[in-house]
Amino acid sequence: MREFSSPPVTVAATGGLADPVYDAAERTPGMVQLSRLAPARSPQDGWPGSAWLGVTALQFRDEVLALAKGLLTRGVRYGDRVALMSCTRYEWTLFDYALWSIGAIPVPVYPTSAAEQVRWILAETRAVACVVENEDHAMTVGAVCDALPELTGIWQLDRDCVAALVEDGRGVPDTLVHRQRLGVTPDSIATVIYTSGTTGHPKGCLLTHGNLAAEADALLIGWDEVFQDSGGVPPATLMFLPLAHVYGRIVQIAALRGGIRVGHHGTLSTDTLLPALASFRPTFLHAVPYVFEKIHQRAREAAEEAGRGELFAQAREVAIQWAAAREQRAFGRGPGPSAALRLRHSAYDRLVYQRLRAVLGGRVRNVISGGSALGRELGLFFAGAGMTVYEGYGLTETSAAITANPPRRPKFGTVGPPVPGATVAIAEDGEVWVRGATVFTGYLNHPRCTEEALHEGWLATGDLGSLDEDGYLTITGRKKELIVTSSGKNLAPAALEERVRAHPLVSQCLIVGDNRPYVAALIALDPLALAHWLKSRGREQLDSRAVLTDEDLLAEIQRAVAVANTAVSRAESIRAFRLLPGEFSTDQGLLTPSLKLRRQAIIRHYADDIDELYRP
């Protein structure tokens, strides 16, 4: 195998993830560690996050300790698993560190999860309690409680469960928590994060305190100048990635280990995210490509509505050229931007780029992107507009990023070299293999899957890629059938396809959505079933083209899609579909001899139809 390694990092020999919270309270008690939203006092106050209240290291430690004592009084013990089902918010971070303080194991659950998904996760992890955000979540968990005999508590955030737990723990001595915390080692399991498999139920990745600490420290060491490039103000980031995802989780851990101020925002919707960014004014961000796509789209639409569409198009082209020239210079392959290009770039900075930066609060200079692939041109555009995007690549199994573009030397369109302490190799079949201290210990209750994934310290990722002469990784495909949308949501398509095919009219279904904003489907109908359906309604037979636009038929298939969607979360649901004029066949090269779908061949064959599914 061809491989490339980054310099090693020192891996913690003792302690757990909660320790830095207690250390910071002793060392720098007055440091503002987090910021909380101040609720609007009246409608005239505007957006609820117009004010942020600082939480010092000492205050946060005290809140974590008080909640940990409350958890002990409710029967949570060392090694117990507690599920967290909520949007990204301050209380999630509080629960994470309180649970880690007593050696318990948080289990994240997406707040959009269907009841069956919740039941599977809580049953397999044998969770003793579940923290939910609101009444809807409580009802989802409650609907499956009969199948969860070990679940003894459902604690609801919007009913102030934190205050109730803190009150319960008032009589517990601090020393009881500290005894539990001192028992945590780097080899202790810190969390179980579920990631979709290619078939069947999702699998829980067992990540240790050492895995997550190694990942956070690698980012803090390798990208310290990115985080500290803050224009003279203390570094701060607004965390809006889902904390149910390993990427959002590692942002939280790295910030608290690195003394970076953190705020929380619950959604990726630009309608609320952009006002939050303008108010919080972060100095750097962690994001997914979906955010950049939406910001770029909104900026272009706003320019066109204002009659400045041509100006924006020209500014976009100049930004791309300017960033590409700087990229070439960084690798000794060119002189950098010409004088004429620098002049044009400076002019557009005043006219366009400053306004774009203002959308993110005006202070953001660097962004780390992950979750799915970011287009090269989009990365160049943002870099040219004054916000360098450092794209990375990783899996839940690698505790988030295993590669990332380094400071001052990004190669747009690649996912960079290995992070400090990691090694990346390309197997003979093109599969990406990785190893390092961040690689997980295995899948919960799935020893055979663990054996298939781990090979003497190496993790076979299931992704295809290549390494260039500088050790930068480019992901070229996927051995697995896992779909990753541009918002970073993972989806194993087989189960959803099967549900759509359960409708009598449907012969074949192919789910698409890789690096797209949402999930969609190509659907082929069974000709005999269609003939029967039409006859039963006293209708004439339709030719293959008329099938595509028949309103009654489209409504019938929409109902089939809606039924299939009830088994998955909204982020995993089919948002659009397209009927095809005929079935996939072996003659077209779209089916294997055993009649399995040749996914990539189908995607190539129907590329225009797929593009139509994503046109506004």
Q: State how far the Cα of 161 lies from the Cα of 487, in Å rounded to an integer.
A: 31
Amino acid occupying residue 570: R
Taking only the tens place, the pLDDT of each residue in 315-372 is 999 999 999 999 999 999 999 999 999 999 999 999 999 999 998 899 999 999 987 7
Residues in the chain: 616
**Containing structural domain, residue 597:** 492-613
Residue 146 resides in a domain = yes
Residue 565 resides in a domain = yes
Residue 354 resides in a domain = no
Quote the pLDDT of residue 201: 66
- Residues paired with residue 419 on neighbouring β-strands, in sequence order: none
Q: How would residue 532 be classed by pLDDT, with cut points 50, 70 and 90?
A: confident
Which residue among 149, 183, 217 closes a domain?
Answer: 183
Q: Determine the average pLDDT of the residues in 50-63.
A: 93
CA 571 to chain centre: 12
Residue 189 resides in a domain = no
The H-assigned helical ranges of 172-269 are 174-182, 209-222, 224-228, 246-258
> Which of 172-186, 375-389, 531-545 has the least mean pLDDT?
531-545
Amino acid occupying residue 57: A
Q: Determine the average pLDDT of the residues in 12-19.
A: 91
Task: Give the SS3 label for residue 246.
Answer: helix
Q: Say if residue 246's pLDDT is above 80.
A: yes
Quote the pLDDT of residue 198: 35
Residue 340 resides in a domain = no
Q: State how far the Cα of 104 lies from the Cα of 361, in Å rounded to an integer.
A: 37
Which residue among 158, 183, 208 closes a domain?
Answer: 183
Quote the pLDDT of residue 40: 55
Give the end-to-end CA distance of the chain in Å, rounded to a whole number: 44
Residue 552 resides in a domain = yes
CB atoms within 10 A of CB 549: 10
Q: What is the β-pairing status of strands 388-395 and 366-369? A: parallel
State how far the alpha carbon of 308 is from the alpha carbons of 153, 293, 299, 304, in Å. 56, 19, 11, 5
Q: State how far the Cα of 75 lies from the Cα of 71, in Å rounded to an integer.
A: 7
Taking only the tens place, the pLDDT of each residue in 283-302 is 999 998 878 888 887 788 78
Quote the pLDDT of residue 480: 66
Which residue among 183, 198, 230 closes a domain?
Answer: 183
CB contact burial 190-201 (16+ within 10 A = b; e otherwise): bbbbbbbbeeeb
How many separate domains does the chain show? 2
Contacts of 308 (CB under 8 A, 6+ apart): none
Q: Say if residue 42's pLDDT is above 60.
A: no
What's the CATH code of the domain at 515? Answer: 3.30.300.30
Q: State how far the Cα of 468 lies from the Cα of 2, in Å rounded to an integer.
A: 10
Q: Tell me the pLDDT of the chain averaged across its residues.
A: 91
Q: Say if residue 45's pLDDT is above 50.
A: no
Q: How would residue 477 be classed by pLDDT, with cut points 50, 70 and 90?
A: low
* Cut 0.75: pTM above it: yes
Q: How would residue 412 be classed by pLDDT, with cut points 50, 70 and 90?
A: very high
Q: Determine the average pLDDT of the residues in 466-479.
A: 87
Taking only the tens place, the pLDDT of each residue in 215-227 is 999 999 999 999 9
306's enclosing H/E stretch is: none
Residue 342 resides in a domain = no
Residue 264 resides in a domain = no
CB atoms within 10 A of CB 587: 7
Q: State how far the Cα of 158 lies from the Cα of 395, in Å rounded to an integer.
A: 32
Determine contact, residues 461/434, Cβ cutoff 8 Å. Answer: yes
Quote the pLDDT of residue 197: 43
Closest CA to 66 of 198, 148, 165, 150: 165
CB contact burial 316-328 (16+ within 10 A = b; e otherwise): bebbbbbbbbbbe
Q: Say if residue 199's pLDDT is above 60.
A: no
Quote the pLDDT of residue 594: 45
Determine contact, residues 424/467, Cβ cutoff 8 Å. Answer: yes
Q: Determine the average pLDDT of the residues in 101-112.
A: 95
Contacts of 469 (CB under 8 A, 6+ apart): none
Closest CA to 60 of 105, 85, 83, 28: 28
Quote the pLDDT of residue 79: 97
